[in-house]
Amino acid sequence: MFSTDRIGILTAGGDCPGLNAVIHGAVRSAAQHGMEVVGFNNGFEGLLDLESVHLLTPMDTLDLVSKGGTVLKTTNRGHFGVTHGMDQRVELSSDLLYQVQANLETLGVRGLICVGGDGSLAIAERLFTFGIPTVGVPKTIDNDVSATAFSFGFDSAVHCATDALDRLHTTAESHGRVICLEVMGRYAGWIALHAGIAGEADAILIPEFPWKVEHLIKTLNDRIRARGFGLVVVAEGVGAPLEGDDACEFQPRLSGAAREVSKQIAPHLDCEIREVVLGHLQRGGSPTAFDRTLATQYGAHAVKLILEGHVGHMVCYQPPHMQAVQLSEATHVSRVTPDCSIVKAARAMGVCFGDGITAAATPFASCAGDETAACVPQLAR
């Protein structure tokens, strides 16, 4: 058994619904084992500021499960640098790491829970390789952390985007418009894909599938003739449309995607086009029941890993069980692939991805035997 006096916890990176539920689960679980939990404010920056550290008791976490945001605050800026983009690299000096190690020893912290996305988990891995006992908890609305079926915050973001589509459906129908809804997701299209299906979008554009204007135009013109309006979900990381057969022209972007799509299709449609950027509404508000339950389990299981000495791991959800994987295996980006069953289902219903591929070209895979994993596209394979 891993001996510990205190457990530390921090929330890093962008905020999302469910962070407080993780804190709630960790604090209450630790208390059952007679452990104290100290919270570090402002993400990893809090590891450098002993004045901002405070003890967290079960009474402190009452009513936290339903509350959005994080009581520990968070930041993705400061001394703990991570390069941005698809290939993230951690840049931490030895002096910084020694200071963190010394501060944790001063506080009697024998295990640190780091709640964050792929960048924050990469920092957690670096802390572990330096000798700091660390456990990761996957947090991102993008659902792009590999090795776990779902990250908390994703379901809440999809719920928000789906609600927006439901509302846009009525106004698009009333005015006979095409509306392009831009959602978050960075370089992965999970939010756009799930919300697009749940909200009955006509087209879903995601970073993983390069698209062409002519394919999107054909679908929208067909929908306009059939029902008088159209809905397009655009992931923020979608690049400019391809020209000809040159797939190398695909350039991901993280802003202005819906505006670019509208500009490209406007000359070819005989109707008004509007863009809606959902933005940080997807990060705010109370978590869904699913995210509350998932995040609470993550917090409790993270404590279990520390108490059992399984540091250097990330908590992961492989339905129906909570498990753990090494942090080094958890920092890869999980992206939508053409063989995902949810993609095939969307194509089967006539949803356009702008790539010209039809349902007939993507038959459903069997969910028997070893092919079961292909029917759960979020799982790392």
The stretches of the chain forming alpha helices (DSSP H) are 19-32, 94-107, 118-130, 154-175, 190-198, 213-227, 257-265, 289-307, 327-330, 341-348
Overall residue count recorded for the chain in this entry: 381
What's CA 164's distance to the chain center, in Å? 18
293: left (phi over 0), alpha (psi -120 to 50) or beta: alpha
DSSP H or E segment with residue 110 = strand 109-116
**Which residues in 194-219 are b (16+ Cβ under 10 Å) and which e?**
bbbbebebbbbbbbbbbbbbebbbeb
Residues with Cβ within 8 Å of residue 94, at least 6 apart in sequence: none
Backbone angles phi, psi at 107, to 5 degrees: -85, -10
Backbone angles phi, psi at 90, to 5 degrees: -90, 135
> Which residue's structure tokens are 């949810």?
342
In a 3-state reduction of DSSP, which class is residue 312? coil
Per annotation, catalytic residue among 142, 144, 155, 202: 142
Residue 142 annotated in active site: yes
**Which residues in 28-66 are b (16+ Cβ under 10 Å) and which e?**
bbbbeeebbbbbbbbbbbbbbeeeebeebeeeebeebbe
- How is 2-59 classified by DSSP, letter by letter? ---SEEEEEE-SS--TTHHHHHHHHHHHHHHTT-EEEEESSGGGGGG-GGG-EEE-GG
Other CB atoms within 10 A of residue 376 CB: 15
**Residue 193 corresponds to which tokens in the numbers above?**
């894909």
DSSP H or E segment with residue 179 = strand 178-183
In a 3-state reduction of DSSP, which class is residue 199? coil
Q: Which active-site residues does the annotation give?
A: 142
